[in-house]
Amino acid sequence: QVQLVQSGAEVKKPGASVKVSCKASGYTFTSYDINWVRQATGQGLEWMGWMNPNSGNTGYAQKFQGRVTMTRNTSISTAYMELSSLRSEDTAVYYCARERTRDAFDIWGQGTMVTVSS
Amino acid sequence: SYELTQPLSVSVALGQTARITCGGNNIGSKNVHWYQQKPGQAPVLVIYRDSNRPSGIPERFSGSNSGNTATLTISRAQAGDEADYYCQVWDSKDVVFGGGTKLTVL
C-alpha cells in the first residue's frame, strides 16, 4: 500500500542540526512532491516547504529560509529534511506528506519527534 | 501573507450536524482542503478541492466554499469524529493552514 515511513525520534542540543528521513513505497516516488509540516505540542500545523523528487527543486517557507534543506535519494525513494541551528522552539513532531501539483496532502508519514534540549 | 481563520472549538450533539468554518480573503477562488487529526496521530485528508471525499471517508463528511468562507460539514456526528480539523490552501507557492478547530461531540 501507499505509505511514507519516517525515521525515529531525535534528541538534539541547541545549535545542532537534525536530518529526518521519509521513505516512500507503493507509488512512483518521483511523481509526487514531498512537503514537510511540523507541529509543536498542543499547537497547529506549520508548513515548512516542498521538494520535487524528480527535479530536486525546492520551495521553503520564509520562516525557515536559510535554516532548512530538503533533499532526496531517488534510488531508495527517500526524502530528507535537515534543519540547522536548532533552538528549543524547534521541538515538535515533523511530518512528511505527499502532494501533486499544489493539491491536497493525501498521504502523511507517521511523524518524527524532534526534541531540542540542553 | 494569506491567513485562514477557524473557530477554536465547535461542539455538536451526538447524531446532529457540525459545521466548521474557514475564513479567508476571497477563499472561494482557491481550492480548500480539510484534514482530521486525532490525538497522537498524523493528519488525515477528509475533503479535497472544496468538496471531494477521498476513498474511505464517509459520506457524512462534505465541504463547500464560496466568497470568504469555506465550510466542512459533518452530518450525523459520531463520537469517533471528535478531533482537530484543519483547513489548508495554496497561496501562490506557499501552503497556508488554518489554526485548527477542536470538534467536541457531546
Q: What is the pLDDT of residue A102?
A: 86
**Contact check, Cβ <8 Å, A105/B94:** no
Q: Which residue of B has its CA nearest to A6?
A: B42
**In this predicted model, what pLDDT tens digit does every residue of A51-82 receive, in sequence order?**
999 999 999 999 999 999 999 999 999 999 99
Asked if the C-beta of A102 comes within 8 angstroms of chain B's C-beta atoms, the answer is yes
Question: Is the pLDDT confidence value at A100 over 90?
Answer: no
CA pair distance A94, A109, nearest whole angstrom: 9
Q: What is the pLDDT of residue B41?
A: 98
**In this predicted model, what pLDDT tens digit does every residue of A2-13 receive, in sequence order?**
999 999 999 999
Using a 10 angstrom Cβ sphere, with 0-12 exposed, 13-18 middle and 19 or more buried, the burial of residue B82 is middle
**Contact check, Cβ <8 Å, A47/B93:** no
Report the residue of B95, B96, B97, B102 to disrupt the A interface, i.e. the one with the largest count of A CBs within 10 Å: B95
CA pair distance A116, A15, nearest whole angstrom: 9
**In this predicted model, what pLDDT tens digit does every residue of B29-80 receive, in sequence order?**
999 999 999 999 999 999 999 999 999 999 999 999 999 999 999 999 999 9
Nearest to A49 by CA among A5, A87, A94: A94
Q: What single-letter DSSP state applies at residue B45?
A: E
Residues in A closer than 8 angstroms to B44, CB to CB, are: 108
Retrieve residue A54's grid coordinates. 524528480
Asked if the C-beta of A36 comes within 8 angstroms of chain B's C-beta atoms, the answer is no
CA pair distance B4, B86, nearest whole angstrom: 10
Measure CB to CB from residue A104 to each of B48, B93, B98 and give the nearest one: B48
CA pair distance B75, B96, nearest whole angstrom: 26
Tell me which residues of chain B have a C-beta less than 8 Å from any C-beta of chain A: 31, 33, 35, 37, 42-45, 48-49, 54, 86, 88, 90, 93-100
Retrieve residue A52's grid coordinates. 520535487
Q: How far is A28 from chain B (nearest CA, A)?
A: 19
